[in-house]
C-alpha cells in the first residue's frame, strides 16, 4: 500500500492565531479482511431491511422525495432502490441487483433483494465461526442448484389459450395484489392479459413490448383505466378548425418540418426593399403550397409530423383540408408507423402512396372540465398495437398504476414464454428450504454449514410475508413448514389475506417459474461477489 503523503494547510482560530492542519492524501485503506466483509454485509442488510417491509400483499409503501421535492409513493422494490441515494458501494450493488431482476423478468424485485440480504446475514454468522468466505460462497452455489431443482420439481404447467385466459388472469392478479391498484386489481389484471394476448406471437413464444404503450392523465378514478386497440398519443390537431376525426385515415408520417429548405452552410440574406421582402414571402408561400401538394398527391388525408410548423403553414394545411398533428415524439412516431404499417418519411420528395399508414379512424378525445385532448388511432392496419390509458386522482397514483401494470404485463409475458408456475405466499421458498436442508445432511464437507444457512435464508421470505401481514412470524412459519413436511404438500404457504386457507393453489397465488428461478440465481451470484470482496480502497486524493 502506498504511504500516505501529508499536506500542510494553514488555518486560524477565532483569535486570528495561525495553526497547521495536516491532511492525509493519496491512497488510503478504510477497512481490511474480515472487518471489510462484515462492513459490506452490514451495508447490504441495511438496504434489504428497507424494502423488506414492502414485500407481499400487505406490504407497506414508501414515500420517496426527489431533490426537487417531487413525491413518489410506491412499494415496488426496483423503484424504491432506484430512487434512493446510496453512497456505499455494496449498497449500490443491491440497487443494480433489483434493476437487473426488473429488466430481465419485470416482477419479484423486492423478493430478490430480501433474499440477498438474508443470505448475507446468514454468511456473517458463518464467518464469525471461522469458515472461509470462499467455502461459504461454494456452499451457497451448491444449495442454489438444489433449490432450483426443487423449483423445477414442484412447478406445474398452466394451460391457457387465446379463448381461455383465466389462468393468466390469476397470475396477473397475484402480482397486483401488493400494489396500490389492488382496489381495481381484477380490472387491471384483465387489461394486462388482453394487451399481451393482442400483441403476443405464439409461434415464437415472444411478446414485443414495444407494441404496448402505457399512458396516463390525472382525473377520473383507477376504474376508468381502459385498453385501446390502437395508438393513443398526447396531442391534438394542430388547428382548432381542423376536423376532430378522420375516417379511413391514410397517414403521411413525416420527420421533416413544414418549412422552406435552409442552406446547410453559413449564409446571410440582406433584404433592402419592400419588393424583396414580398418576393421572399411569396417564395415561402409557394414552398408551403408545394409541400402540401406533394402530400395530397399521394392520397394522404392526415399528416403526423415530428417537427412543428408555423402559423402560416398551419393555416394553409387547414385551408387545404389536410388535418395535421405536430410535435409528435420519436417513440410515438415509431409506434404509429408500426401500428399503421406506414413508413417514416424523412423528405417530402420520398413520399409515395405505398408509404402511407392506414387506420380505420383517427379521432380526438377530450375529458373532464379541463377539456384535455388526446388523439386515438383505432382499427389500425397492424391490429397487434395496443395502448393502455391509465386514469387516477393525481400524478402519483397514475405513476404507481403504470408501474403495477408493467409488473402484471411482465408476469403474463413470462407465462407466454414459459407456462410453468410455482406457488406464491412463500410456499416455493419453504419447499426449497426443506430440500436444501435435507441435501445438506448428506454432504460430509464444511459446505454443509453454508447449505443450512442458505435454507435458513430462504425462510426469510415467508417470515417477512407473515410479519407484514400482522401474523406471528416464527409460529406461522413453523406451522406451515411442519405441515409441508408431514403432508408432503409443496403448495402450502403463508395465508396473507386471512382467508383461513394455506393451500396457495386454492387461493390462486401463482408465480412464474422463471421469475422465482431468476431470483435465486441473481441473489446467489451477488452474495458470492460480496463475499469475495475483502478490501475497499479509495485511490487518489484531493489536489490543490
Q: Which residues are catalytic?
A: 76, 109-110, 407
Q: Which domains does the chain have, with CATH numbers?
A: 31-157+422-538 (1.10.560.10), 230-382 (3.50.7.10)
Q: Which positions ≥6 away from 28 have C-beta within 8 Å? A: 4, 537, 538, 541
pLDDT reported for residue 146: 93
Q: CB-hemisphere CA count at 13 Å for 275?
A: 0
Are the C-beta atoms of 245 and 361 separated by less than 8 Å?
yes
Q: What are the C-alpha distances in Å from 94 to residues 65, 113, 403?
A: 20, 7, 20
More confident residue, 338 or 178: 338
Q: Rounded to 10 degrees, what is the CA torsion of 506, 507, 511, 512?
A: 40
Structure pTM?
0.79
> Mean of the pLDDT values across residues 489-499?
85
Residue-wise pLDDT for 301-352, tens only, equals 899 998 888 787 888 888 888 898 988 888 889 888 988 888 999 888 888 8
More confident residue, 118 or 171: 118
More confident residue, 12 or 75: 75
Q: Give the count of beta carbons closer than 10 Å to the beta carbon of residue 317.
A: 25
* Spatial distance between the Cα atoms of 60 and 408, rounded to a whole number of angstroms: 19
Of 109-123, 260-274, 486-500, minimum mean pLDDT range: 260-274
Are the C-beta atoms of 351 and 369 separated by less than 8 Å?
no
The 3-state DSSP class for residue 16 equals: coil
- Write down the mean pLDDT value for the chain: 84
pLDDT reported for residue 23: 47
pLDDT at position 20 over 60: no
**How is the chain split among helix, strand and coil, in percent rounded to 5?**
50, 20, 30
Sign (positive/negative) of CA torsion 82, 83, 87, 88?
Answer: negative
Q: Rounded to 10 degrees, what is the CA torsion of 278, 282, 284, 290?
A: 180
Confidence of residue 25 (pLDDT cuts 50, 70, 90): very low
DSSP 90: H
pLDDT reported for residue 174: 79
* Spatial distance between the Cα atoms of 457 and 65, rounded to a whole number of angstroms: 32
Residue-wise pLDDT for 66-109, tens only, equals 888 888 888 888 888 888 887 788 888 888 888 888 888 888 88
> Mean of the pLDDT values across residues 209-230?
87
Name the residue with cell 387545404: 320
* Spatial distance between the Cα atoms of 278 and 300, rounded to a whole number of angstroms: 31
pLDDT reported for residue 543: 42
* Spatial distance between the Cα atoms of 235 and 256, rounded to a whole number of angstroms: 18
Q: Which of 119, 172, 81 is nearest to 522 (CA)?
A: 119
Q: Which of 235, 376, 229 is nearest to 305 (CA)?
A: 235
The 3-state DSSP class for residue 536 equals: strand
pLDDT reported for residue 441: 87
pLDDT at position 461 over 60: yes
Are the C-beta atoms of 64 and 388 separated by less than 8 Å?
no
pLDDT reported for residue 502: 85
* Spatial distance between the Cα atoms of 313 and 534, rounded to a whole number of angstroms: 67
Residue-wise pLDDT for 362-377, tens only, equals 888 887 776 778 888 8
pLDDT at position 29 over 50: no
Amino acid at each position: 500500500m502506498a504511504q500516505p503523503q501529508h499536506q500542510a494547510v494553514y488555518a486560524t482560530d477565532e483569535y486570528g492565531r495561525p495553526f497547521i492542519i495536516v491532511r492525509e492524501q493519496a491512497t488510503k485503506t478504510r477497512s481490511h479482511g474480515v472487518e471489510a466483509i462484515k462492513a459490506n454485509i452490514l451495508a447490504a442488510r441495511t438496504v434489504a431491511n428497507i424494502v423488506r417491509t414492502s414485500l407481499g400483499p400487505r406490504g407497506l409503501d414508501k414515500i420517496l422525495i426527489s431533490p426537487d421535492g417531487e413525491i413518489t409513493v410506491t412499494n415496488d422494490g426496483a423503484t424504491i432502490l432506484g430512487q434512493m441515494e446510496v453512497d456505499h458501494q455494496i449498497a449500490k450493488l443491491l440497487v443494480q441487483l433489483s434493476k437487473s431482476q426488473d429488466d430481465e423478468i419485470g416482477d419479484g424485485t423486492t423478493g430478490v433483494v430480501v433474499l440477498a440480504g438474508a443470505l448475507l446475514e446468514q454468511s456473517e454468522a458463518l464467518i464469525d465461526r471461522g469458515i472461509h468466505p470462499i467455502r461459504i460462497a461454494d456452499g451457497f452455489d451448491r444449495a442454489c442448484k438444489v433449490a432450483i431443482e426443487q423449483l423445477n420439481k414442484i412447478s406445474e404447467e398452466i394451460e391457457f389459450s387465446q379463448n381461455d385466459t383465466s389462468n393468466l388472469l390469476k397470475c396477473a392478479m397475484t402480482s397486483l395484489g401488493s400494489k396500490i391498484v389492488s382496489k381495481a386489481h381484477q380490472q387491471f389484471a384483465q387489461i394486462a392479459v388482453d394487451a399481451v394476448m393482442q400483441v403476443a406471437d405464439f409461434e415464437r413464444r415472444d411478446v414485443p413490448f414495444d407494441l404496448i404503450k402505457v399512458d396516463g392523465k390525472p382525473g377520473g378514478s383507477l376504474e376508468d383505466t381502459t385498453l385501446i386497440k390502437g395508438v393513443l398519443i398526447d396531442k391534438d390537431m394542430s388547428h382548432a378548425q381542423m376536423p376532430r376525426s378522420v375516417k379511413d385515415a391514410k397517414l403521411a408520417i413525416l420527420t421533416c418540418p413544414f418549412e422552406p429548405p435552409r442552406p446547410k452552410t453559413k449564409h446571410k440574406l440582406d433584404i433592402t426593399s419592400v419588393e424583396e421582402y414580398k418576393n421572399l414571402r411569396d417564395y415561402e408561400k409557394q414552398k408551403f403550397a408545394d409541400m402540401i401538394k406533394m402530400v395530397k398527391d399521394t392520397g394522404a388525408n392526415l399528416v403526423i409530423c415530428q417537427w412543428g410548423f408555423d402559423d402560416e403553414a398551419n393555416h394553409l394545411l387547414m385551408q387545404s383540408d389536410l388535418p395535421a398533428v405536430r410535435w409528435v415524439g420519436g417513440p410515438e412516431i415509431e409506434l404509429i408507423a408500426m401500428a399503421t404499417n406506414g413508413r417514416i418519411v424523412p423528405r417530402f420528395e420520398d413520399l409515395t402512396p405505398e408509404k402511407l399508414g392506414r387506420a380505420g379512424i383517427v379521432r380526438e378525445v377530450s375529458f373532464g372540465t379541463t377539456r384535455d385532448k388526446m388523439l386515438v388511432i383505432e382499427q389500425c392496419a397492424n391490429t397487434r398495437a395496443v395502448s393502455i390509458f391509465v386514469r387516477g386522482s393525481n400524478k402519483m397514483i397514475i405513476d404507481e398504476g403504470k408501474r403495477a401494470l408493467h409488473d402484471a404485463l411482465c408476469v403474463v409475458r413470462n407465462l407466454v414464454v414459459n407456462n410453468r408456475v410455482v406457488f406464491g405466499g412463500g410456499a416455493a421458498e419453504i419447499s426449497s428450504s426443506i430440500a436444501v436442508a435435507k441435501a445438506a445432511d448428506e454432504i460430509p464437507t464444511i459446505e454443509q454449514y453454508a447449505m443450512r444457512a442458505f435454507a435458513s435464508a430462504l425462510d426469510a421470505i415467508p417470515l417477512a410475508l407473515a410479519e407484514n401481514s400482522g401474523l406471528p412470524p416464527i409460529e406461522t412459519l413453523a406451522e406451515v413448514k411442519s405441515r409441508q413436511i408431514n403432508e408432503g404438500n409443496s403448495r402450502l404457504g403463508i395465508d396473507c389475506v386471512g382467508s383461513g386457507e394455506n393451500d396457495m393453489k386454492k387461493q390462486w397465488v401463482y408465480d412464474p417459474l422463471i421469475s422465482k428461478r431468476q431470483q435465486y440465481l441473481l441473489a446467489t451470484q451477488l452474495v458470492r461477489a460480496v463475499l469475495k470482496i475483502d478490501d475497499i480502497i479509495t485511490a487518489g486524493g484531493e489536489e490543490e
